[in-house]
A and B are shown apart, each in its own frame.
Chain A
């Protein structure tokens, strides 16, 4: 044992520089796992600790419609039955807010929350500058606002703002409020007013998007029974009931998924590092062959020698993992800086490396180091001490031990992946993917080497020898192609996927597209708004007023799908169980085309509907099927007469899943929305919004240009996350490249020295190296790039459900860069050979 320990220490002492690379590969992967898991766990802790204040209640009942008398009666009965002992109601709606001072012509979208005196049941409203919250602050037309609104409207606390038709006084600035969900997207900053004052604003008109919320305190043991009972009571209504626990469970499940997905990404990065480790170990053993033969000559058994190197691997894996934890710590420290002064609950978490994530990361780092080293280390058994007397190639025979250990390693990797992903299926898929990819790379490599073999007759000496080297005995071509090809595969694949995702997320405004959207235009206001928009003085460009109605699907009688009740629709109707916004018109928009059936001409009293293709496919709806819609209590049964393909990315005039034929819905209660081209210039746009809202206080204006900034900010964080993860994978792929190329150095060193003694000058040898590595790199780049095309197709189609796009530039650049990188690494790693006298190299041999 002492021999093993001492030798392991001595070997590490002498070769730590060479093994530094090994160390870094593991560190990067472990850092990814530890950082990702720690962040999720930190956020989860906050949410777990504030579960009740997340919804500011034990039980929450919410609806987008008015409380009907029946609904109220049912709720009152159930609350009495289940012993609810506190209750408060609130109404939330997005709306336009403007300074009361007419000389300031600006208006902004805000998220209005009208609360009663018992709010909040849990948590606390925190105000800036030490001000204490009390309901008295908002009574009699007081308002509490977020600091962003002050900036947007250029007002201060104490000044007045207009909400709808009423003026409110800003009496405090909100720092933190309970009942704001994690990652909720908001159209504007929060404004809190008294529930009793909302009516006076005139905002609760027909079709308004106000959300009515009832928050309850219920004895702990009655919470879930109450929720279950209310869900049954309201199964046919658009009334949603949940408890802080179901919220917690749902959030918990979401976090589980996020944690497992991100850990899987981290594990893939570690595995990429492990592949690099395997290359390094292989080379390391090849370089140590004589030393190992000497040890066997002086009495060491294979098991003892293997133990020495395994101990070294474990020590390096552990050191690399600890470095990875330190790197994760550094990365996590940057999160609060990145979040800044966000009011989101994410900024309330105390970010740091959690013990659980650190231990897991370290365990995985050491395990992966071992798993990827053990097969190359088995080669030690085959090194014979007679090597010291004679360079004799041992006969190749089937090595059952290596086969058995390889199988065991594969099983262990599957188990490890399954553990990280919390799914055996995913574990098998990921490992199967790696294995399949490796096989394809090896076969493709063989084919390509055969394809370039005619170049062995080239007139150029360096090119000829470069190609000959690819297929000579003892060549490393297959292994290098596999390792470099894998690196190129991941690099090009991730870059292409990244480009697809960023392209999908990109929000662009064409010069002539609508850039403003008006909502909640009442029927009685239609002509007035039309006149306002048509008046050149207001500076609006092209516009249209689109009627919209809210409805839900309550049945389908069709060729493939038959749903008799709303219950059936909710349970079995894929993608159609929610509320929809309908419209009716007699023409197609520019982003729509009919793919099945025929579009109507003119109105008809017989109801007809055109269904969007994706929904039709998912819900298995066909031309000729009949659907039943509940539109504000009235059942309409249109026949499906066409299926439409909608280019959602170009839906500037609104995209609708269900489009009705004119002639049926004109008399139904409806509101209007109006996409329009707003005035140019910030001031003109501000004045336009202000004047519009002053005349029509209930109308909301969404300015795409402002929303774009908000959306871009959100998307930039998403793309940053994608880019960071993609970058880590790129880095790991690059490490594989470097390791794979460097591992051929020791062969090149000797050959180059011999060529020099035979008369080749430095330039000729450098060109030989360049060509050989360049050819290897090009082959690997082509294989990896081709594989990346398949990867992006599979992931786009089956995982992300986004259109598959090929980015030729990514692939061409990928091949060129791989070739260049491999060539440069190959030459640079052989610089000492090119510079030194050959004798030193030959003597060392």
Chain B
């Protein structure tokens, strides 16, 4: 599903270059629930953004279903995101001038989908917000907003859902509720889910875990081919169980 080849990201901080992600190579097969963990500033969100095509790598290639997204223009990327990727942000990022229903409907309208009304209503029902469809984000609680964001992410039934600290702005109860929804979506739709979190307990709910620190992989249940400065290469191994390598 997702392939990263020697992907790195460097930004300019003031006048100095700052490497957020050192070159890494990664394969995430279809149907996996992967958690990316690490402390703040480790490059987790950046990695997620690169996978989503929201950001461009400084070097390397990102392939989604065999398509090299680093070679695509903005419009093509937007189309890809609309069709194949659902994104859930830590700060929800709902459009404040649209109701809950409209926020969910927008991706479908962009894609020119049929039966928008029915499908949006169904999605809101799936996340338990049928009665709040016509409320604006400012009228919803944090948990409710995140559920709308989740429904929006599923609008075009994408094969891949990316979630960046989806519970980071929520209390424990709401956070667990969101995670339950993510798990349920993963199981019922066989959606590939890549989750960024700093919460180890939440990460334990995933099938596999990737740990970052200072832009480098320090632990993984998906074995990485990481291009070290010395040029070492390691074989790619796919793990099936989160218990096999411990937490």
Write out the residue numbers on chain B whose beta carbons fall within 8 Å of the beta carbon of A15: 97
Question: Interface size of B by Cβ–Cβ distance < 8 Å?
Answer: 34
Contact B89 A388 (CB under 8 A): yes
Task: Decide if B107 is an interface residue (CB 8 Å cutoff).
Answer: yes
Contact A301 B109 (CB under 8 A): no
Task: Decide if B157 is an interface residue (CB 8 Å cutoff).
Answer: no
CA distance A485 to B15 in the complex (A): 35
Contact B106 A302 (CB under 8 A): no
Q: What would be 24 A-B contacts, judged by CB atoms less than 8 Å apart? A: A3-B106, A10-B97, A10-B98, A13-B97, A15-B97, A291-B95, A291-B96, A296-B81, A297-B52, A297-B87, A298-B82, A298-B106, A299-B79, A300-B82, A302-B74, A384-B55, A385-B81, A388-B93, A389-B45, A389-B54, A390-B45, A390-B49, A390-B55, A392-B11
- A298-B107, A298-B152 known, 14 other contacts, Cβ within 8 Å: A10-B98, A14-B98, A291-B95, A297-B52, A298-B82, A299-B81, A300-B78, A300-B106, A300-B110, A301-B74, A302-B74, A386-B49, A386-B55, A388-B89
Contact B109 A2 (CB under 8 A): yes
Task: Decide if B234 is an interface residue (CB 8 Å cutoff).
Answer: no
Considering only residues 85-131 of chain B, those with a C-beta below 8 Å from chain A are 87, 89, 93-98, 102, 106-107, 109-112
Considering only residues 144-180 of chain B, those with a C-beta below 8 Å from chain A are 152, 155-156, 164
Contact A297 B81 (CB under 8 A): yes
Most B CB contacts (10 A, CB to CB) among A10, A15, A303 go to: A10
Considering only residues 7-52 of chain B, those with a C-beta below 8 Å from chain A are 11, 45-46, 48-49, 52
Write out the residue numbers on chain B whose beta carbons fall within 8 Å of the beta carbon of A409: none
Considering only residues 1-39 of chain A, those with a C-beta below 8 Å from chain B are 2-3, 6-7, 10-11, 13-15
CB closest residue in chain A, given B83: A299
Task: Decide if A315 is an interface residue (CB 8 Å cutoff).
Answer: no
Write out the residue numbers on chain B whose beta carbons fall within 8 Å of the beta carbon of A7: 106, 109
| Closest Cβ–Cβ distance, residue B176 to chain A (whole Å) | 23
Task: Decide if B75 is an interface residue (CB 8 Å cutoff).
Answer: yes
Contact B78 A389 (CB under 8 A): no
Contact A11 B54 (CB under 8 A): no
CB closest residue in chain B, given A393: B12
Among B11, B48, B75, B110, point to the contact of A298 (Cβ < 8 A).
Answer: B110
Fill in one digit per residue for B45-86: 1 if any A CB lies within 8 Å of its CB, else 0.
110110010110000000000000000001100110111000
A389 with B164: in contact, given A291-B97, A302-B75 (CB under 8 Å)?
A: yes
Contact B111 A294 (CB under 8 A): no
Write out the residue numbers on chain B whose beta carbons fall within 8 Å of the beta carbon of A13: 97
| Closest Cβ–Cβ distance, residue A458 to chain B (whole Å) | 28
Chain A contact residues: helix, strand, loop or mixed: helix
Most A CB contacts (10 A, CB to CB) among B89, B95, B164 go to: B95
Write out the residue numbers on chain A whose beta carbons fall within 8 Å of the beta carbon of B164: 389
Contact B106 A11 (CB under 8 A): no
B residues within 8 Å of A by Cβ? Answer: 11, 45-46, 48-49, 52, 54-55, 74-75, 78-79, 81-83, 87, 89, 93-98, 102, 106-107, 109-112, 152, 155-156, 164
Q: How large is the interface on A (under 10, 10 to 19, 20 to 34, 35 or more residues)?
A: 20 to 34
CA distance A753 to B95 in the complex (A): 23
A14 with B109: in contact, given A386-B49, A389-B45 (CB under 8 Å)?
A: no
A298 with B55: in contact, given A2-B109, A291-B95 (CB under 8 Å)?
A: no
Closest 4 CB pairs of A and B: A299-B82, A14-B97, A3-B109, A298-B107
| Closest Cβ–Cβ distance, residue A430 to chain B (whole Å) | 38
Task: Decide if A295 is an interface residue (CB 8 Å cutoff).
Answer: yes
Considering only residues 591-648 of chain A, those with a C-beta below 8 Å from chain B are none
Among A3, A6, A295, point to the contact of B95 (Cβ < 8 A).
Answer: A295
Contact A299 B78 (CB under 8 A): yes
Write out the residue numbers on chain A whose beta carbons fall within 8 Å of the beta carbon of B78: 296, 299-302
Task: Decide if A304 is an interface residue (CB 8 Å cutoff).
Answer: yes
CA distance A389 to B81 in the complex (A): 16
Task: Decide if A469 is an interface residue (CB 8 Å cutoff).
Answer: no
CB closest residue in chain B, given A3: B109
CA distance A6 to B78 in the complex (A): 19
| Closest Cβ–Cβ distance, residue A395 to chain B (whole Å) | 8
A298 with B97: in contact, given A386-B54, A388-B54 (CB under 8 Å)?
A: no
CA distance A33 to B54 in the complex (A): 48
CA distance A392 to B13 in the complex (A): 10
| Closest Cβ–Cβ distance, residue B141 to chain A (whole Å) | 13
| Closest Cβ–Cβ distance, residue A91 to chain B (whole Å) | 77
Most A CB contacts (10 A, CB to CB) among B89, B96, B109 go to: B109
| Closest Cβ–Cβ distance, residue A827 to chain B (whole Å) | 26
Fill in one digit per residue for A274-311: 1 if any B CB lies within 8 Å of its CB, else 0.
00000000000000001101111111111110000000
CB closest residue in chain B, given A389: B49
| Closest Cβ–Cβ distance, residue B62 to chain A (whole Å) | 14
Most B CB contacts (10 A, CB to CB) among A2, A301, A389 go to: A389
| Closest Cβ–Cβ distance, residue B135 to chain A (whole Å) | 14
CB closest residue in chain B, given A11: B97
Contact B111 A299 (CB under 8 A): yes
Write out the residue numbers on chain A whose beta carbons fall within 8 Å of the beta carbon of B107: 298-299
| Closest Cβ–Cβ distance, residue B18 to chain A (whole Å) | 11
Contact B102 A10 (CB under 8 A): yes
| Closest Cβ–Cβ distance, residue A719 to chain B (whole Å) | 48
Write out the residue numbers on chain A whose beta carbons fall within 8 Å of the beta carbon of B55: 384, 386, 389-390
CA distance A10 to B106 in the complex (A): 11
Among B45, B89, B94, B156, point to the contact of A299 (Cβ < 8 A).
Answer: B156
CA distance A79 to B217 in the complex (A): 110
Write out the residue numbers on chain A whose beta carbons fall within 8 Å of the beta carbon of B82: 298-300
Contact B87 A295 (CB under 8 A): no
Contact A299 B110 (CB under 8 A): yes
Write out the residue numbers on chain B whose beta carbons fall within 8 Å of the beta carbon of A392: 11
Write out the residue numbers on chain A whose beta carbons fall within 8 Å of the beta carbon of B75: 301-303
Among B49, B83, B93, point to the contact of A290 (Cβ < 8 A).
Answer: B93
CB closest residue in chain A, given B86: A298
CA distance A300 to B87 in the complex (A): 14
Most B CB contacts (10 A, CB to CB) among A293, A294, A299 go to: A299
Write out the residue numbers on chain B whose beta carbons fall within 8 Å of the beta carbon of A6: 109
